[in-house]
Amino acid sequence: MVLILTALFVPDSNANAENCWWPIQVKSYYGIYETKTKKSGKASSTLQGPKLEEWLPPTAAARPYTIGISVPHIKDSYWVAVNYGIIQEAKRLGVGIKMREAGGYNNLDKQIKQVEELIRSNVDGIILGSISYTGTDAIITKTVKSNIPIVEVINDINAPDITAKALVSFYDMGYYAGEFLAEHAEDSGKNDLRILFLPGPQASGWASDTLDGFNDAMQYFPGRVDIVAVKWGDTGRNKQSELIRNAMKDNPDIDYIVGNAVAAEVAPEILKESGKDKKTAVVSTYIIPALYDKIKTGKVIAAPSDLTVFQGRMAVDMLVRILNGKKAGTDFPFRSGPFIPTITPENIKSYPYEGLFGPRDYKPVFKLEPKK
């Protein structure tokens, strides 16, 4: 983690530092991407890896490209951090941005229409944060075959014709959350665990991946593990609050609430209202800015970080390399993402807020003109 920590300690407000955020340690996969044996959350078996290496970005774009961006939403701080990484790297390389957001994980049709709109607006390439694991396969094929490359960011997808992927495994994210919880429970002397799990949107792919990873990690807990309920839903605060409240009515005695970052964000207040904040601990399967202070104060005891700012930057780097004439899987990784640290109250000082998410007052940018 030394290289990641070096990058995280760099203050992004410093103009010179903004131009040297690398190197970071990544897990990369090379070769030919095929989907016959592809499983959600895991790299295709036809790829070679993971190779542990340093990520070094391109020094410049060959010309002033314009990149289209389509993401599920910007209604929580997770995707705002992705936006920050994309915009900062686009500025560094001098490329333009046209960004669209679909408004939520239930709006697949809207995202597809937005991709079609970006194609008509003559973008050179697209960075996609897909709403669905398979639902965007057709539009990706259509787009790539019309010579517009697409790089997937954050969310794993099937998509046989995707050009490259900048992401981590959400199976691994769930696994690390489970690994931490199992150790925490064992250290606390617990033998029987009752867990409420809130993965996120069921059709997203990444949500079910976190549950699979968590379940596999919990197999190593020496005691009894009972996941009393699995509650799926969009990552809006109101929806996640509703799911937690309803689940707790049916299951009043819960040792841990585990789930997506929005669920972890709202859970401590709900637990306090019900007088269960001393008995029930909260673990997230990923981190967002709103969780940072909650981890610092111990209201949330752990969250793996997929270092979203870096994933956004890497997606821009990949697309610029492709537009510059390089080939994914040969000249640079077809799939790559940062190492995953687990953030806890004990180690959070090693992960400054600005390094994980960008400035606290950052507002998302939807349009950026290329440098002529």
pLDDT in tens, 244-277: 999 999 999 999 999 999 999 999 999 999 999 9
pLDDT in tens, 106-165: 999 999 999 999 999 999 999 999 999 999 999 999 999 999 999 999 999 999 999 999
pLDDT in tens, 301-332: 999 999 999 999 999 999 999 999 999 999 99
- What does each C-alpha distance from 328 to 32, 35, 195, 278, 353 come to in angstroms? 9, 16, 41, 50, 32
Is the pLDDT reported for residue 2 higher than 50?
Answer: no
- What's the pTM? 0.86
Is the pLDDT reported for residue 13 higher than 60?
Answer: no
My answer on whether omega of the bond before 50 falls inside 30° of 0, hence cis, is yes
Which has the minimum average pLDDT: 18-22, 102-106, 222-226?
Answer: 18-22
Which has the minimum average pLDDT: 38-42, 131-135, 332-336?
Answer: 38-42
Is the pLDDT reported for residue 77 higher than 90?
Answer: no
Which of 262, 266, 260 is CA-nearest to residue 248?
266
pLDDT in tens, 154-213: 999 999 999 999 999 999 999 999 999 999 999 999 999 999 999 999 888 899 999 999
Name the pLDDT band for 365 (thresholds 50, 70, 90).
Answer: very high
Q: Which has more confidence, 292 or 11? A: 292
The reported pLDDT for the residue numbered 6 is: 46
Check if the beta carbon of residue 203 is closer than 8 Å to that of residue 105: yes
Q: Which residues contact 372 (CB under 8 A, 6 or more apart)?
A: 64
Q: Name the β-bridge partners of 343.
A: 303
- What does each C-alpha distance from 85 to 82, 140, 264, 288, 345 come to in angstroms? 5, 23, 23, 14, 25
